[in-house]
Structure 1
Amino acid sequence: MRQEQHKFTLEDVKATYKKKDAWWTVLLVDPVASRLIVPTANHTNITPNQLSIFSFILGLTAAYCFFLGNYAALVAGALLYHISFIIDCMDGKIARLKGTGSTFGMLLDISLDHIRVVLCGAALTYSQFRLTGDVTYLYLAFLFLAAYCARHINALQLYKLRRDMRGKLRKARRKLKRTAEAAGIVINEPEVQNADKPEEDEEEAEKKEALDRPSKAEGPEEELLQKKRFDLQQEFKSKFSTYMRIRDFFLNKRIRMHLFSGIEFQMFIFVVAPIVGLLKETIFFGSILLMAFEAAIVYKIWLSTKDFEREFTRIRQATEKIEATLPPEDDEDADRMEAVGAK
């Protein structure tokens, strides 16, 4: 009877979905993976790490099929690769469903994913060079690896840049808050948000700033203190309002606007191209398209840095303006407090 009460349902699995994901995953993977998760979670003790390893083994089998290189092997490799990816999408959902996720599991999953992609790409391009003698496939192998590596290096660096900008803004606002309190500006605790408030998009949640609200708002300094968040995409949104409407449409369906990401890149090269027989064209145009989307993201981040610099300058100037009104001893005390806090 106790087991029946703890049976996971399809709705439970859907609750573990990411708020936004690649369109290939949303449309072609999640509907299958979620239905496989229900019996797996309810009737087996399979762990997320075991699923990651099984997915990797299937990926290696797909790489071997790609290495054989004939059409039947390529089709078999394409099907195995897609099944491997479906299982790979199951491990994270089961971890969230059962609360069994771990840092090691995440590292294992990411590492095996990268190895699988590189091996499959090398096997696919080398087999076609071996069978046809066409050196173009070797150049395409280099292009494939360059695009794939650039995409993930770029994602890591941009994540660090966004985190650094948010951190600097939080630190600057904390200093502004302390300075305002020293000047006698009363700060009230913000009201608790409703627990049933709809979850925000991940990009919007990343922009939240934990800042208390003052009881009075008489000037630009107090206005800065009132702001609980700052949007680092103001410049981008002002230039591309149509894009934002399209983005909202896709987000309502859980699809992110990065329409050709690393996932679509893999699927088109390892699933679509072997079946339709357009390896050269898919690898070339897929790599170009992936880099084009990455360039668009870099441009978007560049606009965000302009928003950051503008806001950071406003906060710094507001802090300096309040500091100028403080008695010398209060100013020194504030400096000592900041030095103690830094330690």
Structure 2
Amino acid sequence: MLGCMRTYSLDDVHETRKRRDSWWTVYFVDPAACRVALAVANRTSLTPNGLTVFSLVLGLVSAGCFAMNQLVAGACFFYLSFMIDCVDGKIARLKGTGTPFGLWLDYVGDRIRVVMCAGGLAYGQYALTGEVTYVVLGAAVAVLDLFRYVNAPQMKRVREAVREERQELEPLVPAPLVPDPMDPERLERVRRSEADRLPRGRSLPKRFNRFLARHRVRSHLISGIEFHAAVFVVAPLAGAWALIPLATASGAMLLVNEIFLVYRMWRFTRRHRVASSQESREHVLV
């Protein structure tokens, strides 16, 4: 049966990568994950769901290593678990075998891995040192991760609801008059707009964002992926002394990022409310 399978190239696998992803995934995971995905696609009949379950098993092994105070082994197994978690998505997109159940399994598996690894890390360090700080740290990591993954779909639902409301209002708003392209006032506005663009050049943030986009990197510094990498990979590899400082710093940065995203969502809904009010008044006046 394997002889009848289509042969994929590395370029085919590269096409399955996300258009923009976290910098940790782009630079430290995808180079390995793409080659593993190529071997899995060409030499095995493993399904995305099977890979997701395997990723979860590796995550539980990582949690067990942390609980036994084997920090380096725990970090290595966590990295392998996350890497396989990236492979399952690539295989699903490459072969077109993704399913809604697979999305659910991947989502739930990620949460179980993080909670178990946070618990294992807290238990291992508490058993070794007797310091309650590590218990608080494990609980904080689990709660912050759950908050982020509960908050993200809710924000998406809010944005979708706003867009649906806009679509419902559009038929009520009369189409704007098409301006005369030779209107002197319009030509003057266009000239000023072009003049404003020329001497000022490109701002550094925009140039930096374009640079990141060319390399498929998201513009924000830290997301849940970088948070997990800092707590479960970088800090354990550095040693027990780095667990609290790195977890605290990365957790604070993640929380700031989440607050900023909530603020942007609030601005988005506020602009929509103002626009909807104006459209309603215009409809009444016409």
Is the counterpart of residue 81 in structure 1 residue 71 in structure 2? no
More helix by share: 2
Query: CA offsets per residue over residues 226-245 of structure 1, 9 Å max, x none?
Result: xxxxxxxxxxxxxxx75444
Is the counterpart of residue 217 in structure 1 residue 214 in structure 2? no
Tell me how far apart the structure 2 counterparts of residues 25 and 41 of structure 1 sit (CA, whole Å): 20
Aligned to 2:158: 161
Aligned to 2:34: 34
How does 1:1-343 map onto structure 2 within 5 Å?
Answer: 6-69=6-69, 73-176=70-173, 180=174, 217=178, 243-277=205-239, 278-322=242-286
Name the aligned partner's letter for residue 64 of structure 1: G
CA separation of 1:28 and 1:3: change in aligned 2, threshold 3 A: same
Using structure 1 for the length normalisation, give the TM-score.
0.71
Using structure 2 for the length normalisation, give the TM-score.
0.85
Query: CA offsets per residue over residues 179-198 of structure 1, 9 Å max, x none?
Result: x4xxxx7xxxxxxxxxxxxx
Tell me how far apart the structure 1 counterparts of residues 59 and 5 of structure 2 sit (CA, whole Å): 36
Report the count of equivalent residues.
261
Structure 2 regions of 5+ residues with no counterpart? 181-202
Query: CA offsets per residue over residues 93-151 of structure 1, 9 Å max, x none?
Result: 11111011100011011111100100000110121011101111122122212221221
CA separation of 1:300 and 1:40: change in aligned 2, threshold 3 A: same
Deviation at 1:3, TM superposition (A): 6.1
Bigger mean CA offset, 287-296 vs 139-148: 139-148
Deviation at 1:50, TM superposition (A): 0.4
Name the aligned partner's letter for residue 315 of structure 1: E
Tell me how far apart the structure 1 counterparts of residues 153 and 123 of structure 2 sit (CA, whole Å): 29
Structure 1 regions of 5+ residues with no counterpart? 186-213, 220-240, 323-343
Q: Determine if contact 1:143/1:284 at 8 Å carries over to the other structure.
A: no
Name the aligned partner's letter for residue 22 of structure 1: S
Deviation at 1:312, TM superposition (A): 2.0
Percentage identity across aligned positions?
39
TM-align CA RMSD: 2.1
Deviation at 1:302, TM superposition (A): 2.2
Name the aligned partner's letter for residue 265 of structure 1: F
Tell me how far apart the structure 1 counterparts of residues 168 and 114 of structure 2 sit (CA, whole Å): 40
Tell me how far apart the structure 2 counterparts of residues 66 and 301 of structure 1 sit (CA, whole Å): 37
Bigger mean CA offset, 306-315 vs 44-53: 306-315
Deviation at 1:35, TM superposition (A): 1.0
